[in-house]
Structure 1
């Protein structure tokens, strides 16, 4: 908070004092009701000499007061007809010169722009504040400061000293007194609330004060004021009379001085924010039975603007703190602010919606929707109806507001009420998108469209023709925005628009790829899945042009911009297309590989500044990302494309020159470190690690010489030897274990037999791999086709091909390193497999039989003992073994 805000709010305290004055019988001048006359005697005693010095030619009001024989009273309070704070005669620009950090003054000029006399008065007032015996002394000293030391002349350190001297006890008790309505301060509750909120607003401008636990306890009270609003004086009096008659002497009011100065601040929270119950608090804190909840607030119950502004000032100051949004959420901010908006309370639209928008977007979005889904959905329904009824320009302004209040993806996705909201908004957006719009006008519409797509997909968008128009408009905006000469800076507004367009393009490419699937796995019938063949070709054509513009833009990116969130959004969108389509624009894609790999490596190895990306991941307006930024995100998005590209000779050669295998090994190492410490239940499947293994497998199969020479594959072997024994005990990671097993065996078949003793890590890996592969088939199967074991059954669709490939690689390992055949017998793999095959009549499928037969043939060829054991079992002519003709030839069985 700026010191300027502090000064404005401090002036506000003076305004409060002028509205709450009465005639003092002693001096016949206006004084505060809250400050008894004997307190002014105390003040006059300790500061009369200062005031005399101060009034020597510096203040015309004080001179006039001295002529009446009472300097202090005229300085404290002006004439009742026109009361204004004493302000500097300097112009505003000069007044603020002393308001910066340190005030720009000398050590003696402690108050910034104050004179020596003012400074002395200020010091005495601060002393009085720190040693005040009761609230009356505190108020008197504070009001004296507001008169003698104008806020415009106070610098930030001086304001902080005042705030610290005042403390939070006083404003908290003022609010409690007003809300509870069980004390008699001589002032109506509205004035107590006005003074209390003004003090809190001034205090909250200092971040340390705003984060103080005692100020935080007043949040429910402030929320109650904003949501319930004050009642008219007549209703308040009638309610107090009724309560006094019904409840007896317990409800009688007490004097202000009976309020305990050391009252527990925790009691503040208890006395407010109860609007969820059937009771409703008025401005006096009394509770009345609530018969109904009006949707609009009557004029008599509207909240005072100054008080509402003060309440929102405090809440906004708290929200700006690092943990501020969580503090507000835990104290009931969402239901209270939603109620204020529904009842159209003062500033609820101008300030309340802004504050709510900050709470329901960014880091606290999921938490807010999980805690108050009903209130937020009701607010969204109201905002969507307002959006539909608004005029054209207002609708454009409301697009960005609606984006903030949409729920996270996946929350209430099946809610019919939410679908009704989305359908209603699409109904308004369709004619808007079909109209002629400027780039500034179409941006918010496309961003809102992207968010609606995230929520409910294409189902509610509209007819196929409109879907084509939406994709086309997004692609046109992307081309216009990105096909600019190098060096042109994109404005933040344009970047925000293009990010929304990317999401529309991603959703379109997902659907376009679904259209190519066979009829047996047909996509659900949505508006875009019913496109005609010509419409599909048009969509794919404009998408190809737009993604070509993305590649052109990324070609111009300098490494110094790798930390730019917009570059990451562009990179991510391109990767979503490359994951599905690498045959189009093949030359352009291959030419862009140096950037794609360099960008991914820079983030993975922490070479770029990622703070902006971390904030973007937590606070993204379109398709909010989950979890904090780790540096691995860029490569995760690129991995599916690398799987395709590493299988093609041209792109693979480029990837090898960029040392891509080493990058993938580094990714696996970094991903394995946090995973290995988690328990089997807590560890979740990570598809990106499996995809990285697939890309490395492509290199291993197609580039054997590179595997033998590149040191990164030696590092990979060590990682696999460490990880596989751990993974086999994590059932949820069986597919990853199958990938690690296959990758290690495929590398092992390329190595020659060791000249000396076998390394312990090598022996450990192969022992684990044999036990892992053996566990796939159920050895206890009754006669008939062999069954997959229960531990593999759930993942068999994903792991079956890897299991078969592992068996083929095992045969290659036995031929390349004969010592493994001994390990095969020692680990019981051969005995187990022969027993299983002899008991069953057939294997799950023909490919499984071929893979097993290849492995058994290799063992028979390399190990005489294995050959003898296999031959003995086959001569019994039992089960599936009898169908393996090549194996019969290897062991000499007819």
Structure 2
């Protein structure tokens, strides 16, 4: 097995053949009868050894007479269990303590202890044992600073494991000077001769490590060299690699200081730190612990990244190609990335090295690494540092070609993991390009509009959209072939997510293909919601890839797929043909349930409304499209009665939360638009709707504020001012819907008058000389006209106000005056 070490008679590590190549079978059948007999006697001695000297003697004899490549895994496991982890831990501690009196040079004790730990760590159970984990800080100190990492008069840094787990602060118990003079075979014979009846089994090494070290008379303290022996370094990395590969191993290494120690080791540019330490650190930073690592050790990782970027920029073309995958591992995630000039400099250096590679002819594997690194840099820095427009177009084109080749020319529906990683990077490049190509910016030349991709011209933008359309056509084809049995595949989710990013911006291109795919997309959304918490594979992938659930950056939930599709549903529900298809798929009921679940989740266990959720606002917009355009469907479908009931309960809670003002405006408008199409229900439902209308009138009135001081222009209130660009149109539509509710439900007019809403509005209009804009005037006039037309008492109040008003803004409402004149 890779990294397995056997010990020579002098205690030095000797590499053996891999476990897979060993000739042994069960019980060590690769050994001769004589070897097996010796092995069994040695194992007996290991198990019943009274001190560390006897343990070492038996172990050294085993490695001399029974090579590891002749023993099967089960036999090796017996040796590992017999030796235990306490001995190598004590050897390391003794080597690094002053005046240990162990009888051997500290370098040899260190070599022996590290080699034993390395061999033991190849067993998966040993690699996760608390005793072995307690040696990790010591091993990290050795690879970071050599032998000088541990004070000469102290043991290694204490961990929280405690002596009950065989803490390595205990020291080696045995006179190794005897071993250096006496034949280990003779030591073993002496032990066997004493008889098993005279050998008391030692206690478990998990609970008893040793007493104080035995000193050789007259021995002086030794100072090991600070430079770590290469063989010891290899053994240290073997142990760390084994721990990292275990369950929760990365978290355990992070907690024990692995990141700063490995950064320090790599910075010293030793051979083993580059060959073993850098890949190990890269592996650590490629998993779920990356955000924690960057948060906890930002300075060390930033310094290492800057050093690697310097190396990348100065490397030869071939070396830069080889380093692309490495650089991807060491880049921080966009969320929580440190904003600094140093990080921006890193981005500039990496793009400078990438540009010629993007333009050159490379192998498919090399292109894949280039695209993955490019996607990571786009996530971090956007398009600004990429380069000239032609290079940006070329990068997008290469990503789109890769997607077409990967999805259209598949020999089967299975995509290899490497190809999934590359295509996932291409998706991110396409998403970034889509956002920018559709975002025109004004330029100095009106005839030549620019986009945010470093001065991309309109013609170049059209070209980018053209190649994107071809790639998305391939994505549509791929998703059409995916069966329901693969809905839990993370790659299918990544493909779905990319298409949703396209549909959020562009629904007119490939319209027929999109319409044909809509049932598939909605079916995929439903399968994800039905899977719920059982979709552990996808949830784990989302966490490992640090993929947020939707553009709002929420953690992954069963609603994740629907959140990505919502912008497209909002666009498509505004068009006749797609809307009819969405109705046939029951999308309004899907959106209603999404709102209900989202509201319950946002309130949490404490029952308090939480933070803003733009996805819920988007769902309201899509439902509003159905309510405006499909009145008959709204009257007949039970989901809208359920929606109204939900709004009756949720809206009064939301309107009192300043952070939920946009949500409240959506709830208010949607509820009033549904109310205009239905009759007031009887019983508790009618009381709930009565409360809704009362809350809605107060909420809408709160948007306006009179001038201060004296007559002047009516203003938008301070609480609404910052949100007016989002809620202004909703407010106007809600007032228009209120007017329609007055016509459908006469009781609403009485509510407006008796509740004081009408008097408040008339007071504002009478005291203000002008209204802010025609939208506000039109909305208010629509509501007043409805009240004047359907409620005699309201009509009288409005007429009285107009008679008293001299120059008030109500006098500018010509339509209202005409209604009152008749």
- Give the TM-score taking structure 2 as reference length: 0.83
Distance 1:222 1:165 in 2: 23
Task: State the partner residue of 1:200.
Answer: 117
Contact kept? 2:706, 2:768, Cα under 8 Å: no
Distance 1:731 1:454 in 2: 32
Contact kept? 1:229, 1:345, Cα under 8 Å: no
Shift of 1:156: 6.0
1:19 to 11, 25, 28: 11
**Structure 1: gaps spanning 5 or more residues:** 21-82, 100-104, 106-110, 241-253, 268-283, 288-299
Distance 2:35 2:319 in 1: 51
Which residues of 2 match residues 86-235 of structure 1 at below 5 A?
A: 94-97=23-26, 121=41, 124-125=44-45, 127-128=47-48, 132=50, 134-136=51-53, 138-140=55-57, 143=60, 166-230=83-147
Q: Which digits, 9 at most, give the CA deviation of each residue in 1:825-875, with x for residues without a partner?
A: 444322332333233223332211211221222233333333333333332
1:492 to 417, 430, 438: 417
Shift of 1:435: 1.9
Task: State the partner residue of 2:809.
Answer: 880
Is the deviation greater in 608-617 or in 469-478? Answer: 608-617
Shift of 1:385: 2.8
Q: Which digits, 9 at most, give the CA deviation of each residue in 1:621-675, with x for residues without a partner?
A: 9999856431222221211111111111111111111111122122222222210
Distance 1:504 1:184 in 2: 63
Is 2:343 the counterpart of 1:418?
A: yes
Distance 1:205 1:128 in 2: 24
Contact kept? 1:211, 1:318, Cα under 8 Å: yes
1:699 to 626, 631, 634: 626
Shift of 1:327: 2.4
Task: State the partner residue of 1:353.
Answer: 278
Distance 1:84 1:535 in 2: 62
Shift of 1:223: 0.7
Q: Evaluate the alpha carbon distance shift between residue 504 and residue 755 of structure 1 in structure 2; reply closer, same or farther with a 3 A threshold.
A: closer
Task: State the partner residue of 1:272.
Answer: none
Distance 2:446 2:645 in 1: 41
Is 2:471 the counterpart of 1:546?
A: yes
Q: Evaluate the alpha carbon distance shift between residue 321 and residue 790 of structure 1 in structure 2; reply closer, same or farther with a 3 A threshold.
A: farther
1:362 to 262, 274, 287: 287
**Structure 2: gaps spanning 5 or more residues:** 154-170, 177-202, 210-220
1:802 to 694, 717, 730: 730
Is 2:394 the counterpart of 1:469?
A: yes
Q: Evaluate the alpha carbon distance shift between residue 686 and residue 621 of structure 1 in structure 2; reply closer, same or farther with a 3 A threshold.
A: closer
Task: State the partner residue of 1:568.
Answer: 493
Shift of 1:262: 12
Q: Secondary structure at the match of 1:18?
A: coil
2:354 to 429, 440, 454: 429
Distance 2:378 2:288 in 1: 21
Which residues of 2 match residues 392-791 of structure 1 at below 5 A?
A: 392-409=317-334, 411-412=336-337, 414-484=339-409, 487=412, 489-515=414-440, 528-606=453-531, 610-620=535-545, 628-677=555-604, 683-754=610-681, 759-778=686-705, 781-783=708-710, 784-791=712-719
Q: Secondary structure at the match of 2:719?
A: helix
Distance 2:683 2:261 in 1: 76
Q: Secondary structure at the match of 2:270?
A: coil
Task: State the partner residue of 1:32.
Answer: none
Contact kept? 1:380, 1:405, Cα under 8 Å: yes
Q: Which digits, 9 at most, give the CA deviation of each residue in 1:5-63, with x for residues without a partner?
A: 6xx74x53x33x5237xxxxxxxxxxxxxxxxxxxxxxxxxxxxxxxxxxxxxxxxxxx
Contact kept? 1:511, 1:529, Cα under 8 Å: no
Contact kept? 2:635, 2:677, Cα under 8 Å: yes
Contact kept? 1:728, 1:734, Cα under 8 Å: yes
Q: Evaluate the alpha carbon distance shift between residue 817 and residue 391 of structure 1 in structure 2; reply closer, same or farther with a 3 A threshold.
A: same
Shift of 1:174: 2.9
Q: Evaluate the alpha carbon distance shift between residue 533 and residue 821 of structure 1 in structure 2; reply closer, same or farther with a 3 A threshold.
A: closer
Q: Secondary structure at the match of 1:363?
A: coil
Contact kept? 1:334, 1:372, Cα under 8 Å: yes
Q: Secondary structure at the match of 1:841?
A: strand
Distance 1:171 1:792 in 2: 69
Q: Evaluate the alpha carbon distance shift between residue 146 and residue 224 of structure 1 in structure 2; reply closer, same or farther with a 3 A threshold.
A: same
Distance 1:590 1:684 in 2: 34
Distance 2:262 2:686 in 1: 67
Is the deviation greater in 458-467 or in 387-396? Answer: 387-396
Contact kept? 1:514, 1:522, Cα under 8 Å: no
Q: Secondary structure at the match of 1:490?
A: coil
Q: Which digits, 9 at most, give the CA deviation of each residue in 1:167-210, with x for residues without a partner?
A: 54443333333334342222222222223323333444455544
Q: Which digits, 9 at most, give the CA deviation of each residue in 1:443-476, with x for residues without a partner?
A: 1111111211222122221122222222222222
Q: Which digits, 9 at most, give the CA deviation of each residue in 1:252-281, with x for residues without a partner?
A: xx996699x99999x9xxxxxxxxxxxxxx
Distance 2:549 2:98 in 1: 46
Distance 1:96 1:621 in 2: 45
Count of aligned positions: 762
- Give the TM-score taking structure 1 as reference length: 0.76
2:748 to 807, 820, 826: 820
2:785 to 852, 857, 873: 857
Contact kept? 1:578, 1:641, Cα under 8 Å: yes
Which residues of 2 match residues 3-42 of structure 1 at below 5 A?
A: 4=1, 9=4, 12=6, 14-15=7-8, 17-19=9-11
Q: Evaluate the alpha carbon distance shift between residue 820 and residue 214 of structure 1 in structure 2; reply closer, same or farther with a 3 A threshold.
A: farther
Shift of 1:735: 0.6
Which residues of 2 match residues 235-274 of structure 1 at below 5 A?
A: none
Shift of 1:774: 2.5
